[in-house]
Structure 1
């Protein structure tokens, strides 16, 4: 079996224009990249892979982040970084970032946006998926409604999220629980909407098994109505997760088929 090749996205550079801390563990950094002026970016989950450790490495170390906002007229975009002390690469960089800093990235990529033929949407994710969720909410079709479930550390860790008319925002505090467990429970408890619904479910990989079972096996939701993927996995670096993600997804699909 041949492994599909990944797109060879060009490398670009972006300059930090502003840094703002949203919560104790969330930093929003604004960038400017002239190469993005005039780009065709139709999706709401557009992401880039920031390169750390030097752009001339044969195998660069990358970390993937989704745009919170992107303005293709000006080349300005915002990215929210989840920080966890001194661990990792991107988080510590974001905590030290200042105006004028330059970061190299590859992309953007992207694949999803709210489709016009749905009247209701359900968005589910943790802090890592919040930027894509927020961008999706801001691009809902006219008259569409939505339920938005966002898992956060605790009740004091909320941040800016769009909540236009017809959108119900549900914060789900972890309060020390394993990532994804309370989020999965909240979505299951709410049940399946009566109308045809588009689902956007992204975040920690550990919640996927439970929510795939709930959606596909227990509730019979058509797979074409669901965008579901793990952005990260507990105890793994991004490199480790990306290397094992295909096998992880295959195991889930095999279990569901059985």
Structure 2
């Protein structure tokens, strides 16, 4: 039986507005020894933590985010938060916008399951703004001679960010993320824009290792069939999952994922 993930208390040290749609918050561990114990063995680039938000009524709400740049010796990490609308939607986004040095929050984790496979001939990284932090971490972990693609869907050009990558990995941005996730097809009956962008990539020879995460409807019902059936990517070489689903809170999304998993394994 898997042991429960530890809780770690963090203090905000700085914040940075990356774009209109994303803010980065930097943290330091209140207890560096506990931080080292929790993060010391994490080798995954999709490492995630669950932030614990305490409600006024004593109710706890958990929100899942990718932990960036964890430094075990310094006891520090960063988290990039997607900000919706005017910044007052949801729970975590408004908290991140209002965060100031000295604020504290508890995280549980980390978890994770993916790191780029050095034995692969090339890499495919695809997702939306929710998947962007994990894509950033994967790109940073690739060797200098890595080949492949990183495709990220954002609302428009103002939401693009500097995204360092090896010279052989082409980074491309897809616009229109706020509309193409409403349904499997857009108003013209075409495929979701992220799927179209991945389809349009010249398929490279050899073994691909793929990481595809984002809005669940697009990822699980569009990109997954394309990669598994049309491109015949082995399941072992594909890390694919929904990070969120439009119109659902994280609690409702977790229920949806559990239902989907039950149906697929029945």
- Regarding TM over 0.5, the answer is yes
Q: In 2 relative to 1, CA 56–253 (structure 1 residues): closer, same or farther, beyond 3 Å?
A: same
Cα drift, residue 146 of structure 1: 2.1
Cα drift, residue 213 of structure 1: 1.3
What CA RMSD, in Å, does the superposition of the two structures yield over aligned residues?
A: 2.2
Deviations 1:179-235 (A, max 9, x none): 382111111122532221000000110112111111112222211110000000010
8 Å CA contact retained: 2:82, 2:93: yes
Q: In 2 relative to 1, CA 234–108 (structure 1 residues): closer, same or farther, beyond 3 Å?
A: same
How many pairs does the alignment contain? Answer: 249
Query: Distance between the aligned counterparts of 1:235 and 1:7, measured in 2?
Result: 32
Q: In 2 relative to 1, CA 97–67 (structure 1 residues): closer, same or farther, beyond 3 Å?
A: same
Query: Distance between the aligned counterparts of 2:202 and 2:69, measured in 1?
Result: 31
8 Å CA contact retained: 1:119, 1:143: no
Unaligned stretches of 5+ residues in structure 2: 185-191
Runs of 4+ in 1 over 6 A off after TM superposition: none
Q: In 2 relative to 1, CA 94–6 (structure 1 residues): closer, same or farther, beyond 3 Å?
A: farther
8 Å CA contact retained: 1:55, 1:104: no
Query: Distance between the aligned counterparts of 2:143 and 2:206, measured in 1?
Result: 15
Deviations 1:239-258 (A, max 9, x none): 1111120222454678xxxx
Query: Distance between the aligned counterparts of 2:23 and 2:178, measured in 1?
Result: 21
Unaligned stretches of 5+ residues in structure 1: none
Query: Distance between the aligned counterparts of 2:144 and 2:120, measured in 1?
Result: 10
Which secondary structure does the structure 2 equivalent of 1:190 belong to? coil
Which secondary structure does the structure 1 equivalent of 2:41 belong to? coil
Query: Distance between the aligned counterparts of 1:63 and 1:187, measured in 2?
Result: 28
8 Å CA contact retained: 1:121, 1:146: yes
8 Å CA contact retained: 2:48, 2:66: yes
Cα drift, residue 140 of structure 1: 1.2
Which secondary structure does the structure 2 equivalent of 1:186 belong to? helix
1:24 corresponds to 2:20: yes
8 Å CA contact retained: 1:115, 1:141: no
Q: In 2 relative to 1, CA 196–161 (structure 1 residues): closer, same or farther, beyond 3 Å?
A: same
Cα drift, residue 141 of structure 1: 3.5
Deviations 1:27-56 (A, max 9, x none): 000001123236222110111100112599
Higher mean Cα deviation, 171-180 or 62-71? 171-180
Match of 1:69 in 2: 69
